[in-house]
Amino acid sequence: MKILLVSSEVNPYSKTGGLGDMVGALGKALAHAGHRVGIVTPLYAGIREKVPGLQKLALPLDLPLGSRQVTAEVWSLDLSPSLTIYFIDQPSFYFRPGLYGERGGEYPDNAERFIFFSKAAARLAIDLPWQPEVAHAHDWQSGLVPILLQHQRLQAGWQSPIRTCMTIHNLAYQGLFPAWDYALTNLPSDYFNLNGVEFYGLMNCLKAGIACADVITTVSPRYAREITTPEFGCGLDGLLRKRQDSLFGILNGVDYEEWRTSRNPFLKHSFSGNNLAGKAKNKLALQAEMGLPVAADIPLFGSVTRLADQKGIELTLGALEEMLERRMQFVLLGSGDPAFEKAYRDLAVRHPDRVAVRIGFDAGLSHRIEAAADFYLMPSKFEPCGLNQMYSLRYGAIPIVRATGGLDDSVIDLADDPEHANGIKFSDYNTAALAKSIRKALALYGAPDLLRHYRRNAMAADFSWERVVDSYAKVYGASQPA
């Protein structure tokens, strides 16, 4: 099959969270499985310096954006004969310090930036000489791709239209803009209604994709069920229920070429399920790096996260406040909401021997934390899939998660299955429930045989993309033009 992925983030070129990881890895996995794959993404500042060998494509873009014309160049990078990245080069839109904003604020012209991006991707879907059969859009930034292609299809009366797939990575971010920004799409007003782009008088980019794509996927089976309920539906549950027959939940995979515990350039010491000595050494190294007391026998908890309400930060802060009188350490790497950043900094100041905090984004440190930690905290309020709990499983850091979305689908608690238990799950969204799970973790730490059993299960868990890539191929094939 010939597939064009469209995403505002692609690891290793750009990433603010799991979206970049997922699209980069899915592209690789589809290409490995024998498909022809292209990935369209913006050329952000810094990419050109990092990636030598970009080739200018003989497909210059000159597209209407409301009342003006905007031009862009397309640069391609062939990673293999069957995998090409297409970078949309429009410096005034994408050559900035952030992807979506700076210092906690969004760029005011994000509607223009990502409507233009969606138009550029739709144009490539039509004009690329290898003629993609499927355009697969990810999140609101490319949410207009299905509707733009549908419109082209109707106008041109194509014989073999491109099928469209819309993946929801996080329903909480919908790309909402004032109604007047709809003019930037240059689409007829017919699509600005209840069944299309309109949402309580606003323009909603993700809704456009959900309404118009031939098929919709989300990143775990449980989240696929959750988003059809008012509690998790973010106002779109009605539409999602309507489209339920075309909605599929496919659990994300892990790129184990990147997330590996041996010969990993970010880790000082290699380790494996049968040889945990390297993990113990990584723990000592991290304690030293973070300025904590260096001691092999203190249980170490870790977290690497966007500091956003979704991630249950208030629970972590509350539960730690209660638990830190015990002998334990906690290491955090994260950035986001300034109030959460401050709360963590304050916690570290109050508990200098127990807590170390790094505010920022640091890929190397994220690997070192997962490799060093005995336990990994992820008490999300909701979690479409979550990748860090899967990374922590592979790195032998027992995940402590709230049973929601992909966290529930990927972690096995003692209560689910004692033989295969690899983590600790709790249900109630409150501090006491998380504190109780941390107490369970401390008890587990005091029972080395059981801890070894958990670790072995955790490190053996297999979330490789090869297991799920066929599900995408099936879904693409199942999609029928609207």
Which of 305, 431, 437, 479 lies at the binding interface for ligand ADP (CB under 6 A)?
A: 305
Q: Closest distance between ligand ADP and the C-beta of residue 63, in Å?
A: 30
Say whether residue 12 binds ligand ADP (CB under 6 A).
no
* Residue labelled with tokens 């094939």: 477
Q: Closest distance between ligand GLC and the C-beta of residue 104, in Å?
A: 18
Amino acid at 99: L
Interacting stretch for ligand GLC, rule CB under 6 A, among 5-13, 293-301, 370-378, 380-388? 380-388
Say whether residue 308 binds ligand GLC (CB under 6 A).
no
Which of 258, 314, 322, 362 lies at the binding interface for ligand ADP (CB under 6 A)?
A: 362
Is cis: bond before 12, omega within 30 of 0? Answer: yes
77-116: which residues touch ligand GLC (CB under 6 A)?
A: none
162-181: which residues touch ligand GLC (CB under 6 A)?
A: 169-170
Say whether residue 17 binds ligand GLC (CB under 6 A).
yes
Q: Closest distance between ligand GLC and the C-beta of residue 397, in Å?
A: 17
CA distance 22 to 15: 10
Nearer to ligand ADP, 164 or 305 (CB): 305
Say whether residue 302 binds ligand ADP (CB under 6 A).
no
Which of 3, 8, 18, 138 lies at the binding interface for ligand ADP (CB under 6 A)?
A: 18
391-420: which residues touch ligand GLC (CB under 6 A)?
A: 406
Which of 21, 133, 341, 408 lies at the binding interface for ligand ADP (CB under 6 A)?
A: 21
Which of 363, 414, 442, 450 lies at the binding interface for ligand ADP (CB under 6 A)?
A: 363
Helix (H) or strand (E) holding 221: helix 221-226
CA within 13 Å, CB half, 14: 23
146: helix, coil or strand?
Answer: helix
CA distance 277 to 55: 46
Interacting stretch for ligand GLC, rule CB under 6 A, among 1-9, 28-36, 351-359, 383-391? 383-391
Which of 3, 61, 134, 304 lies at the binding interface for ligand ADP (CB under 6 A)?
A: 304
| Cβ–Cβ < 8 Å for 117, 88 | yes
End-to-end CA distance of the chain: 20
Interacting stretch for ligand GLC, rule CB under 6 A, among 181-189, 239-247, 377-385, 465-473? 377-385
| Cβ–Cβ < 8 Å for 421, 396 | no
Q: Closest distance between ligand ADP and the C-beta of residue 366, in Å?
A: 4
Say whether residue 366 binds ligand ADP (CB under 6 A).
yes
Going by C-alpha positions, the residue among 413, 411, 388 that lies closest to residue 461 is: 411
42: helix, coil or strand?
Answer: strand
Tokens of 272: 């494996």
| Cβ–Cβ < 8 Å for 219, 389 | no
Count the neighbouring beta carbons within 10 Å of the beta carbon of residue 79: 13
| Cβ–Cβ < 8 Å for 42, 93 | yes
- Bridge pairing between strands 68-80 and 83-89: antiparallel
326 Cβ partners below 8 Å, 6+ apart? 442
Helix, strand, coil % over all residues of the chain, rounded to 5: 40, 20, 40
Q: Identify what 253 binds: ligand ADP, ligand GLC, none; CB under 5 to 8 Å per kind.
A: none
Tokens of 381: 């309020």
Going by C-alpha positions, the residue among 138, 133, 112, 127 that lies closest to residue 74 is: 127
Q: Closest distance between ligand ADP and the C-beta of residue 266, in Å?
A: 11
Which of 7, 18, 35, 355 lies at the binding interface for ligand GLC (CB under 6 A)?
A: 18
Interacting stretch for ligand GLC, rule CB under 6 A, among 7-15, 157-165, 347-355, 379-387? 379-387
Interacting stretch for ligand ADP, rule CB under 6 A, among 114-122, 201-209, 294-302, 328-336? 328-336
Q: Closest distance between ligand GLC and the C-beta of residue 383, in Å?
A: 5
Say whether residue 468 binds ligand ADP (CB under 6 A).
no
Going by C-alpha positions, the residue among 468, 307, 361, 359 that lies closest to residue 9 is: 361
62: helix, coil or strand?
Answer: strand
252: helix, coil or strand?
Answer: coil
Interacting stretch for ligand GLC, rule CB under 6 A, among 14-22, 237-245, 355-363, 452-460? 14-22
Say whether residue 17 binds ligand ADP (CB under 6 A).
yes
The contact set with ligand ADP (CB under 6 A) reads 17-19, 21, 304-306, 333-335, 361-363, 366, 385-388
The contact set with ligand GLC (CB under 6 A) reads 17-19, 22, 169-170, 219, 252, 383-387, 406
